[in-house]
Structures are given as structure tokens and as C-alpha cells.
Amino acid sequence: MKIAIIGAGIGGLSAAWDLAGAGHEVNVYEGSDKVGGLAGGFRPEGWEWSVEKYYHHWFQSDAELLKIAEEIGVRDKVFYPQPVTALYHQGKFYAFDSPIAVLKFPGIHFIDRLRFGFVGAYLRFSKNWKSFEKHTAHEWLRKWMGKRAYETLWEPMLKGKFGEEYYRDVNMAWFWARIHVRTPQLGTFEGGFQAFCDEFAEAVRGRGATILLETPVERIESKDKDQLALRTNDGEETFDRVLSTTSPELVAKMAPDLPEDYLSGVRNLKSLGAVVLTLSMDRPLGPEIYWYNLPKSEGFPFLCLVEHTQFVDKEHFGGNHIVYCGDYLPPDHRYFSMTKEEILEEYLPGLQKINPEVSKDWVKESWMFRAQYAQPVPFVNHSENIPSIRTPIPGLYWASMSQVYPWDRGTNFAVEIGRRAAKSIQASKPS
């Protein structure tokens, strides 16, 4: 078959790898000048490694990702440092990345810490996620983990991630998935995620696929004989199958001929955007902490702070210290229209709460990245509302991070859904 894939992120590349490997003619269309999508990165002059536009790491449990890394011959470049993840409590940061650290955390009473551990173990070993999606994380955790532990540990995280508008509505299956498969060990790739994406793209090309950068797709239309036409700024081309790996908004815009019941399901999917300010500093921000979990109720203007060079050596970045300030926000939030300089001014007091000596003079360079589609919001019984990968238009498929549920968005599940879409396309092959 002649197949088009829209989007050269991890999901699109995974589908292309399998489909090209099965002997199909595959064209991958990407609007930007690099592969990688939300997992892509940038590398200024003088750096050996790239850093990600939107911060990523891998877990040791990321089986799909590790499997495809093995297949393309780069598994030996995945490594797992042992960084410190910390939680803010009453003006101090406490390690919160192991059972021992949890037992030592002073923010909740000892009996609540034990209850926290038992509930965490139950979520870790329970496999029946369907039963969890009938409840909100807010009500379930408050009931079973206890009011004090919930309000200290998980309510700030839910509020920070989903905002006041949605934090009470996110279903418990989403939370279960985070506890069920994640590991304390966090991994990355030699050279950065962009290096992984570039090697992946080369492997896909090695199987005969074509990757067309800076070629956004404008429209998808049905043609005679069950074929589909793709329109780009280079003209129109016809395919037997088309897979879109774009956001709900983009697939609805590109394929307006989708039946209204399917389109309404796509449009009803809710998501938040991401705003990330990355700083290159001439000295370290803090005391050997990699990941800071920050409660906005304490005056922090962003959800999380990541000092990347507490994870990998600063020498990969010209000796500079790399710090991320990240947040999930509604797409109409004012941060999406503010300048990089304005956001740095707004973020600076938050950095000074971590280290009072921080000043703008520490910042050598900064970069601002924003994506309006970054974090799907799953409501109660969300599995009943997810549009099918195989759309009602013959030959048209859609696979996005909104459909990896109950899992959270991330590169591992982008691989999984990309390969699942490829399998579905393979099964539709005409005899």
C-alpha cells in the first residue's frame, strides 16, 4: 500500500518503522524542520548534547520504548542516572523518590505515611484500571489515602497539573496508571532526545520511508476507489491509507469531512497546553536536587522545576547549568501571549524561593517553548468517549496521545499507539 503518515513525532516514526518494514511505500509529513514532535530538542552552538523543548525522561518500565530502541540498534545509549526528586514542605525540600524517603517525610503523620504506602502498593499491583475510572482521583484518594495525606501530597499536584477548573474531575484510572507503571529510576539518551529522534528517523529512512520536513498537511479528502488525497503547499498526492498523529484540533481541521458524531467526539476531548522556559545559567541553582515538585499555593508561578544538569553532566552543555521551569495551562492563559522576557520576570521570584541569591545576571541564555496541546484531561468513564483509531472515513486513521488512555502521555505510549495504528492499517490491507 501507499501510506501517508502526518507527524514525525515518536508515534508517527513508530508507525512508519513498522509499515515500511512490512514493505509498504511510506511518506511521513512533518510541519517543522526537525523530527521528534513534543519529544524534540535543540542544541545551541558549543553544546555536545541537545536538551528537550518540553522536558522528558524515560522509566525503566518503558517496555515499548526500550523494545524499539533495541530494534533500531541504540539500546546501549539509554542510561539511567540516580537523581534526587524532592517535595516542598514549609519552606524546605525533602527527598520523595523512594519508600524510605516517604517514611521520613515530615509533612504528614507517621500513620498517614503508612497508609500512603499501603494504598500506593495496592495501586501498584492492582490491574483492574476500569474500576478506577468510575471515580475521580480527588474523591478516591481523599477517601482511601486520607484527607491529610491527600491535601498535603496529591491535591497540590492535581491542582498544579490540571488547574482549578479540572483537578476535581480527573478520573482515578489516570492516577492509577502513574503509580502502576512508573519507576523511581529515570532515564535519558546519550546526546539528548533529539539525538534519539534523529537516529530513529535515519532507521526509518533505512527501511525505505520518505520523511518530508517543513511540509504541513492542509487537508485530507476522500477520492474514488477508497483512496485519500493529501493537500500540502507542494500540491496534492493520493494514498491508499493515511494516519494522522496530530492533535484533536488539527485532525478536525484537516479532515472536515469526518462524520459529525466522530468529529464531535474529537472536539469534546479536553487538553491543556504547556509553557516551558529553559535557562542556561553560569552556576547551579540549588543543592543537588534534580526535580522539584512545587505547590502553586505556596507562591510558585510554575508547576515544576528541573535542574537538568543535576541529572546529566554540565560539560555536555558547554559547562552551563540547565534549568527548566514548566507548567500545564489552559490554551488561553496569558503566558501563551507574553514574551520570554516578561515570563522570566514573573518566574524569577519563584526561583528565588529556592535560592534567594538567584538573579537575572546568572542567566546566560533562555529559550521559550509553548504547545497548546500537551496534556489530555480524562474525565470519569473516559474510555467510553475515546474516538477510534480507525475513523469512519475509509482508509483514514488517527492516533494521538488523547487515545493512549489510561496511560499518561509520553514517548513510551507514543510508540505503543503508533505501532497499534500500524497493525490496524496492516489488517486492512486489500487482498
Instruction: Domains for the chain: give ranges and CATH numbers.
Output: 2-77+190-269+386-427 (3.50.50.60), 98-181 (no CATH)
Please give the share of the chain, as a percent, with pLDDT higher than 90: 75
Q: Mean pLDDT lowest for which of 102-116, 253-267, 284-298?
A: 102-116
Q: What is the mean pLDDT of residues 215-244?
A: 93
Q: What is the mean pLDDT of residues 218-225?
A: 89
Above 80 in pLDDT, residue 431?
Answer: no
Contact 292, 155 (CB under 8 A): no
Q: What is the mean pLDDT of residues 19-35?
A: 97
Q: Mean pLDDT lowest for which of 30-39, 99-108, 239-248?
A: 99-108
Q: Which H or E run includes 230?
A: strand 227-232
Q: What is the mean pLDDT of residues 108-126?
A: 86
HEC states along 133-200? CCCEHHHHHHHHCCHHHHHHHHHHHHHHHHHHHHCCCCEHHHHHHHHHHCCCCEEEECCCHHHHHHHH
Q: Quick one: residue 208, left, alpha or beta (phi over 0 = left, psi -120 to 50 = alpha)?
A: left
Q: What is the mean pLDDT of residues 365-394?
A: 94
pLDDT of residue 7: 97
pLDDT of residue 82: 83
Q: What is the mean pLDDT of residues 4-17?
A: 98
Above 70 in pLDDT, residue 282?
Answer: yes
Confidence of residue 25 (pLDDT cuts 50, 70, 90): very high
Q: Mean pLDDT lowest for which of 180-184, 192-196, 261-265?
A: 180-184
Please give the share of the chain, as a percent, with pLDDT higher than 70: 100
Q: What is the mean pLDDT of residues 196-221?
A: 97
> Hey, what's the cell of 9?
513525532
Q: What is the mean pLDDT of residues 224-236?
A: 90
Q: What is the mean pLDDT of residues 11-18?
A: 98
pLDDT of residue 102: 76
For the chain, the average pLDDT equals 93
Q: What is the mean pLDDT of residues 394-412?
A: 92
The burial of 312, by beta-carbon neighbours within 10 Å (0-12 exposed, 13-18 middle, 19 or more buried), is given as buried
Picking from 144, 142, 165, 164, the residue whose alpha carbon sits closest to that of residue 154 is 142
Contact 266, 258 (CB under 8 A): yes
Q: What is the mean pLDDT of residues 150-175?
A: 92
Distance CA 3, CA 242 (A): 6
pLDDT of residue 204: 98
pLDDT of residue 206: 98
Contact 168, 136 (CB under 8 A): yes
Confidence of residue 103 (pLDDT cuts 50, 70, 90): confident
Q: What is the mean pLDDT of residues 398-422?
A: 94
Confidence of residue 97 (pLDDT cuts 50, 70, 90): confident
pLDDT of residue 120: 85
pTM to 2 decimal places? 0.93
pLDDT tens for each residue of 323-354: 999 999 999 999 999 999 999 999 999 999 99
* Helical pair 411-427 and 10-21, crossing angle rounded to 10 deg: 40
Above 90 in pLDDT, residue 386?
Answer: yes
Above 80 in pLDDT, residue 148?
Answer: yes
Distance CA 244, CA 72 (A): 23
The burial of 225, by beta-carbon neighbours within 10 Å (0-12 exposed, 13-18 middle, 19 or more buried), is given as exposed
pLDDT of residue 98: 74
Above 90 in pLDDT, residue 107?
Answer: no
Which of 104-118, 150-164, 275-289 ranks highest by mean pLDDT? 275-289
Above 90 in pLDDT, residue 364?
Answer: yes
